[in-house]
Amino acid sequence: MKNIFSLIFLISLAVLQWGCTKSFKDLNTDPYALTQEQLKANNANVSAYFSTAQQNLIENGPWLTQLDNFYGDNFIGYVYPPSSFRGNQYPCTFFNQDGWQDGLWGNAYDNVMKQTHLIINNARAVTPATDATNTQIYIAKIVRVAGMHLVADGWGPIIYTKYAQPSADGSYSYDTQKDVYTAFFADLDTAITGLTALEGGTSTFGNLDMIYSGNLKQWVKAANSIRLRLGLRLTRIDPTTSKSEVQKALSHPDGVITDNADNMHVYFNSQLGGGFVQVSRDWTDERLGADFETILTGYKDPRLALFFSPSTDATVGPIMKGIREGADIAAKGDYVGYSAVNVAVFGQNPSSWTGDLNVITAAEVNESLAEVSLRGWLAGSYNKTPQEYYEAGIKAHFDMYGISSTDYNTYIAGTTLPVSYKDPKKSAHNIDSVNRVPVKYNAAGTNEYQLQQIMTQKWIALFPNGKEAWSEWRRTGYPKVFPNYLNYSGGTISTADGARRIFKFALGEYQNNANGVKTAITALGGADVGGTHVWWDPAGNTSNF
Amino acid sequence: MHLKAICKPLKQGFLTKTLLVMKLTTILLLAACMQVQASAFSQTVTFSGRNVSLETVFSTINKQTGYIVFCDYGLIKDAKKVTIHAKDASVESIMNEALKDQPLSYEIVNKTIVISRKLIVAGALAANAADMPPPVDIKGRVTNEKGEPVPAATVAVKGSNKITATNDNGEFELKGISNNATLIITSVGFDRQEVKLSGQAVVNVQLKLQAALNEVVITALGVQRKAKSLTYSTEEVKGAALTAVPETNVMNALQGKVSGLNVFRGSGGAGGSVNVVIRGSKSFGNNQPLYVIDGIPFQNNSPTQPAGIYNGAALPDAGDNLSQINSEDIESVTVLKGASASALYGSQGQNGVVLITTKKGRAGAVTVDYAVNYNRDTRAYGPKLQYTYPQTSAGANYSWGTTKGSYKNIEGDFFVPGNTWTHSISLRGGDATRNSYLSYSNTNASNIYPNSNYNKNTFDIRQSNTYLGGKLTADANVLFTEQHYKNPLSPGLYNNPITGLYLFPRGLDFSQYKKNYEVFNTGKNYSLQNWWNIDWIANPSGGGGDDNQQNPFWILNRDVFTQKTDKVYGSLALKYVFTDWLNLQLRGNIDKEYRTLQSKLSSGTQTVLADPLGKYKLFKYDNQQVYGDAILTLNKKFGDLGLTALAGTSIQSIDNYSQHFEGPLVLANVFAISNIRYANLTTEEHEYRKKKEAVFGGVNLSWRDMLFLDMTARNDWSSALAYPLSTTPTQSYFYPSFGLSAVMNEVMKLPDYVQLWKLRASYAIVGNDFDPYQTYNYSYFSGNQNSVYGGGNAPYPGTALHPEKSNSIELGTEFRMMNDLFGFDFTWFKINTKDQLVTTPAPAGQPFSYYLINAGNIQNTGIELSINATPIKTRDFKWDIYATLYVVKNIVKEFNGKDNFVHAIAGADNGNMTYFGIKQGLPFPTFFGKKFVRDSKDGMILIDTGANLGKPLYTLYSADTTGLGTPIPKAVIGFRNTLNFGRLSFSFLVDGRIGGNVMDVTQAILDEYGVSKASADARDHASTFLPVKGKYVGGGTVTAIDPKTWYGAVASRAGLAEYYMYSATNIRLREVSLAYSVRPDIISAKTHNVIKGLSFGLNARNLFFFYKKANFDPDIAVGTTNGNQGYNAFTAPATRSVGGSIKVSF
């Protein structure tokens, strides 16, 4: 009797419990989180991903900026860390540090690829399709190409056309770099064609459009300019496609960005933009590089003093002094007094950390046009000489920083050569200059000589976008930079070859997409080490024409 | 409202009784509420009736006085009719008259008259009052067999409701009792004793220690069980052992006192949180045990924990809830170590359970206890620094100068003694039906560095009442705590005062920075930081300086962190005893907590850590837990077979709400949300909601009190397992436990001096859920950035998450002999925790960053041994030893089916020296990091030549697959001795941890900066400096290495981890205490009975190490989470504490 009671008691409680679990689904829904349903209001599920995508087109924030310094900025001599991380055994000395480059990979996938994927997918789901949502799809495609080509250029094969499309075994396959480039051009085709037809309207991203505030014509110009950049990238591997893509960009009625007013840049009014200043001033982990110092000093380039501050090290004196690439640094204190980034330019108001990240500017595009002109590939309304575009590029860059025309006129007439590098702290770092071309354009020079001049100015104009400058250096070999003093690559990167050629695939991919990485290595066509060349940078081919 | 007597004709039976109890409870509560109203009724009764039923009489009483008469109709339906004529008579006289010749008695409680069957006892109560002998007053003393007083023993007069309890001197007093009454004396741990009076006025009673076999222990859910019937291991620590050497967080006092338990102290100093690990780390997630106060689960929130060495962005250890308990309120702590013991708590008990039993009121005259403790803390073990070599060069960060000199040791300019004062006062008293315990305590502590303190006030009100002649017990507890906490030391490199202190370049003048930690800036009109490498005049935009050092006094005065916590905890437990073998218990509690954390970083703070105009961070927490359970317990003997069974249900609902505001300021140093620059304002709002429901049952069968079979089953339903966006795979999980034990000395004939030899075995499965909102992908929206963030985690596509599962086997034996002069308890256990929730990076090819999967199998095997012995026992001297040994082997048996990968766990930072990882075949967690490269033949470390002459070759930490050890010790020992010389008691605790490795990031950074003593010693003997046995890459033995080259290569925050790993083995004298209690008769006589007891104590903690390899105290962890143990990164130095206490009873 008693036990029966207990049983009844227990069963009735159990029944009661079952009844109460109905609310569990509600309880397990985070009340302050978003559901996709909520995001659908006013199509926010399309627009709300746009801010993040734009802000991450170029690595921002101190940590990613520092990674950029390690992977790109230092390879082509813009900056160098005084911090002798890990006893000098780190990426700047070609040491493979597994995991470090993953931050750059992850940032692009989490914040550009994912966000643009969501914009495109969610916009497609809006029915009926409207001009507004179509515009958003086109702009997202441009942003995706602008962000992801930096990844493709660094790693070679990437996950692009099969993004969010798992293979039967759950892995995600990589595209060859060639296929990725084809897909980039196709994306740009779709976007340019679509936006050109809608140019009378404005982008429905509205004030979320941090780049062009909804001006569609400027977006088309930007897309054309990116096509020009990517087209030129193929000069060595596929000159035919290269030429046709370049001409396609130039033939479009809207043309490319030749005026600073059309520059594609992301302006931040937030902490995000201050990375460059934070790494240099606050972390003291970034100083002027020897190449930037010697070339700009030789040129008496007024931009050097804008971008960097004089050394504060008593043994150096108040001059511009950079650190040799791959320097052997015993202790951080030794080099921390070398030239730091000029806070006045890169963090205009220290209390607001504002910053401006340039994606593609008139200065770069003009230098590209100089090369196109040199190659005789001009099309559309573009018909100037290489020298005219070369000087227009310098002018555009001087104008960006408010440097006077007088200074400009003096500068372009400059015949001085880059100076040799001298390290007051360690004479073993000393090295004679290698990029021996002056500023003054030599239209009578060989094609290679003219290209070296053009690429040197493009390199200055790209500062501090080290990854793009690194790609252009790999493509053309210009400007010539100092070989690394230390090379801890264990033989996988040749010092004579000048720099690392690729990034190693992400550790997380090796762990969680192992079959995918196998497709990547096949697509790469070489070992996954720093010395392997990407598709558009064929090893052994050193001629540009 | 008009209440009637509720003597309704109910069929007496099981169900009706249950209903009656429920109704009764309600009515009692109502009655209590109605007391004010009831006073409108008359206090007297006028009645005239002949041969009327009792029902009529009761009804009249109710109408006229408002008194409710409560009875079982069965009792009065056959009662004799009565004749009563009374005018303005008291209720008592009417009741006496009505029940005069009836077999019934009554009791009046709170205007409720409860009728019960008259107890037929040998005493004199049944006799007519006229026959009663004249009442007498008696006094007495209760002692144990050694003549020591037994405090808190209950002394009851048989057959009456007179009851009292002994005071701390074992004394009691009873007034107005019959001179031939029988006293019943009971006390926990002693046999019950009856004493028949024969006219004497002084009664001295000696109690006999309860035979081990009948000892009662508290088990899961607060159920009391006979110790010998348990099939698993539990261990109890008395409150006195926890307070002898005071700790602001009482859990710290458990170290070395319980086998199988290991306490890692957080870095926060006074009031900081602790990490208690029982039987090793078992889960990739939480490894803390469940804390239970008086049977009810206690939420132990620890809202912020330091996150690695770059802790500047986060907050320091904000303490936990355990630190809010007043240790003087604790009666005892019982540790349920294995899953079998805690199976009834369900998933929360997976990591073991710490049951805290608080003090209750006790019957007898009110006693007031006051205790005051004072402790003085001093820095015990700091790193060894050098003061002989100067700054490398003017303006340099490092002190790698080569010219020897002599510089001032500046540590003394910073560290101060810490003072802790604790006052606590408690009142206890009561009678047979009502007992109260009221207490107040105040703790005021300062840390060993300036402007850092901790203040705590606690109030505890405990009321235990019995009703219905003892059948219904109500126990209510209200606890209120408020706590203030200022500037606990934040470990790591950021916002930590000791980095600046230690790294300060030698040769500069520290005193000027101590005197003026800020200087007035005329341009800004406020003061900015004054530090040797921060200069706001030369660098107006940011001041300059380094992220890893600031003026220590600036940090403590201008980068202030404060915390304020208020906690209210209320509980009510009702227990109704149907019969001596069946009872029902209902319990519930509400636990409310409000916390405010503020970090105010002033303008002038180094610009990595705060924005140029200052930064404000505000965190608000509003935490709530509601818990309720109902347990029906049956305990009956059927001949040789005994049955204890319980069935119950519980519900627990957690709702923790939090807000976070953070951002740079617009006006300098105005710390308000409204002054945060909107574009950079970070806001977060979260709510952690979880509801768990359970039904459980347990059966314990015994045969002749020698063989026991124990079975439990529990089913949990957790809201965290619900799938809001898809079909529900399961929200429910079931797990059983089985146990067997045999009392061998009953089974077979053993020598008489063996009191107990028991064998036991048990097996249990426990499931565990996880945090809410893991079963679906969600993201947040930032209005001021107009963007979606988060949303990177999702369950692995196509799979459903299920609860983790832990299987444990436990075998043990217990032995006691020679009246407990010697005994031991031995346990072997094996625990496998499988299907844990693991966050694993997702492939880049899809829009998630991480997948959540069920994976893994961590196995913990080990033994626990505790030995008690009394080597010497004479009349005046006794020496007791309690020794514990705990050995555990922890290994990851399987992880995600991927053998060759090391999975980083939370808090791991790839940019630093090492990280914690999980790898199959290695302990959890394991350090991974850079190692030396050794010659494959002779094992010599390879040293580079040429440009890198003197630098060791090393491997990458990503290449490290064997690890650098685990911080979890292999064995933990405790050796506690208590020596009693009459009234003087001396005790000490030696404890040790054997095995395990710790890493010293502090040392690596001090070496890098050239401020460590090691770096000076190396320079002293530069020509022969040989830190490792090495050979050159090309061959040739290394005879000396340049110190600066060596430390340049191995030191720094990203240094060569292997060089900075130390054995964690340490043995220390943890506690010493000396106590003396003044003879109570002397003190009472001298103070005219005002002071009844007086004792003095001296205590010391952490006096010295017998053995230690590491440069720091290996017990201190940066934080209490899995990823923050076992390394030192400028954590607060360990302290040595000496103090005294006075306890007075009135």
Structure confidence at residue B341 (pLDDT)? 75
The SS3 assignment for A509 reads: helix
pLDDT in tens, B27-39: 443 333 333 333 4
Structure confidence at residue B143 (pLDDT)? 85
State the pLDDT confidence band at B298, using cuts at 50, 70 and 90: confident
State the pLDDT confidence band at B226, using cuts at 50, 70 and 90: confident
How far apart are alpha carbons A454 and A542 in whole angstroms?
17
Tokens of B698: 């347990």
The pTM assigned to this predicted structure is 0.81
Query: Does A170 score more than 60 pLDDT?
Result: yes
Interchain proximity B786–A117, CB inside 8 Å: no
Structure confidence at residue B897 (pLDDT)? 63
Q: CA of A270: which chain B residue's CA is closest?
A: B680
Cβ(B610)–Cβ(B564) below 8 Å? no
- Helix (H), strand (E) at residue B64: helix B54-65
Structure confidence at residue A26 (pLDDT)? 86
User: Of the given ranges (B213-217, B352-356, B440-444, B693-697), which has the lowest mean pLDDT?
Assistant: B213-217
A238-252 average pLDDT score: 97
B607 in contact with A at a CB cutoff of 8 Å? yes
Structure confidence at residue B745 (pLDDT)? 85
Q: DSSP characters for B1066-1101?
A: EEEEEEEEEEEE--HHHHHHHTTTS--EEEEEEEEE
State the pLDDT confidence band at B18, using cuts at 50, 70 and 90: very low
Query: Does A230 score more than 70 pLDDT?
Result: yes
B970-983 average pLDDT score: 90
The SS3 assignment for B1019 reads: helix
* Among A88, A75, A80, CA closest to A499: A75
Cα B695 off chain centre by: 26
Give CA angle at A506 (A502, A508), nearest 5°.
175
State the pLDDT confidence band at B109, using cuts at 50, 70 and 90: low
Query: Does A392 score more than 90 pLDDT?
Result: yes
CB-CB neighbors (< 8 A) of B630 in chain A: 13
How far apart are alpha carbons B421 and B444 in whole angstroms?
5
C-alpha distances out from residue A537 to A153, A450, B127, Å: 10, 20, 114
A443-455 average pLDDT score: 96
- Helix (H), strand (E) at residue A370: helix A362-375
How far apart are alpha carbons B899 and B857 in whole angstroms?
13
Alpha carbons within 13 A on the beta-carbon side of B1093 = 20
Q: Which residues pair with B978 in a beta bridge?
A: B880, B987
Give CA angle at B977 (B975, B980), nearest 5°.
175
Regarding an ipTM greater than 0.90, the answer is: no
Give CA angle at A71 (A154, B913), nearest 5°.
125
User: Of the given ranges (A291-300, B741-750, B769-778, B1079-1088), which has the lowest mean pLDDT?
Assistant: B1079-1088
B690 in contact with A at a CB cutoff of 8 Å? yes
State the pLDDT confidence band at B42, using cuts at 50, 70 and 90: low
Helices (H), B404-509: 497-503
Q: DSSP characters for B379-421?
A: EEEPPPB--SS--SSTT-S-----S-------GGGT---EEEE
Pairing assessment for the beta strands B82-90 and B44-52 based on DSSP bridges: antiparallel
Closest in A20, A52, A270 to B679, CB measured: A270
Tokens of B307: 């996150």
Closest in A14, A49, A172 to B845, CB measured: A172
CB-CB neighbors (< 8 A) of B611 in chain A: 351, 353
- Would you mind telling me the total number of residues written for chain A in this entry? 545
pLDDT over 90 percentage in chain A: 56
pLDDT in tens, A400-438: 888 999 999 999 999 999 999 999 999 999 999 999 999
Closest in A23, A48, A281 to B788, CB measured: A48
Test mutation, A1, A12, A17, A28, chain B, max B CBs within 10 A: A28
> Hey, which of A157-161, A536-540, B650-654, B931-935 has the most confident mean pLDDT?
A157-161
Pairing assessment for the beta strands B941-943 and B1030-1032 based on DSSP bridges: parallel
Interchain proximity B547–A159, CB inside 8 Å: no
pLDDT in tens, B712-770: 998 888 888 888 776 556 677 888 889 999 988 888 888 888 888 999 999 998 888 88
Q: CA of A11: which chain B residue's CA is closest?
A: B695
Closest-CA distance of chain B to residue A88, Å: 8
CB burial class (10 A; 0-12, 13-18, 19+) of residue B947?
exposed
Strand B1061-1063: give its sheet, edge to edge: B1061-1063, B997-1000, B1127-1128
Cα B888 off chain centre by: 22
Interchain proximity A281–B1048, CB inside 8 Å: no
Cβ(B855)–Cβ(A184) below 8 Å? no
Q: CA of B793: which chain A residue's CA is closest?
A: A110
State the pLDDT confidence band at B311, using cuts at 50, 70 and 90: low
Structure confidence at residue B134 (pLDDT)? 66
A397-427 as b/e: b if 16+ CB within 10 A: bbbbeebeeeebeebbeeeebbeebebebbe
Average pLDDT over chain B, rounded to whole? 82
CB-CB neighbors (< 8 A) of A508 in chain B: 841-844
pLDDT over 90 percentage in chain B: 32
The SS3 assignment for A133 reads: helix
* Among B627, B625, B628, B733, CA closest to B689: B625
State the pLDDT confidence band at B570, using cuts at 50, 70 and 90: very high
> Pick the residue with more confidence: A486 or B188?
A486
How far apart are alpha carbons B1138 and B1101 in whole angstroms?
6
B214-230 average pLDDT score: 72
Q: CA of A106: which chain B residue's CA is closest?
A: B844
How far apart are alpha carbons B144 and B669 in whole angstroms?
65
> Pick the residue with more confidence: B402 or A392?
A392
pLDDT in tens, B455-477: 999 999 999 998 888 889 999 99
Closest in B630, B779, B845 to A33, CB measured: B779
How far apart are alpha carbons A162 and B1062 in whole angstroms?
49
Strand B234-238: give its sheet, edge to edge: B234-238, B330-336, B353-358, B290-293, B296-298
CB-CB neighbors (< 8 A) of A204 in chain B: none
How far apart are alpha carbons B357 and B46 in whole angstroms?
49
Tokens of B1112: 């720091």
State the pLDDT confidence band at A16, using cuts at 50, 70 and 90: low
B1043 in contact with A at a CB cutoff of 8 Å? no
Query: Does B1140 score more than 80 pLDDT?
Result: yes
Give CA angle at B257 (B255, B261), nearest 5°.
60
pLDDT in tens, A508-533: 788 778 889 999 999 999 898 888 99
Structure confidence at residue A513 (pLDDT)? 85
B124-147 average pLDDT score: 65
Query: What's the 3-state SS for A76-130?
Result: CCCEECCCCHHHHCCHHHCCCCCCCCHHHHHHHHHHHHHHHHHHHHHHHCCCCCC
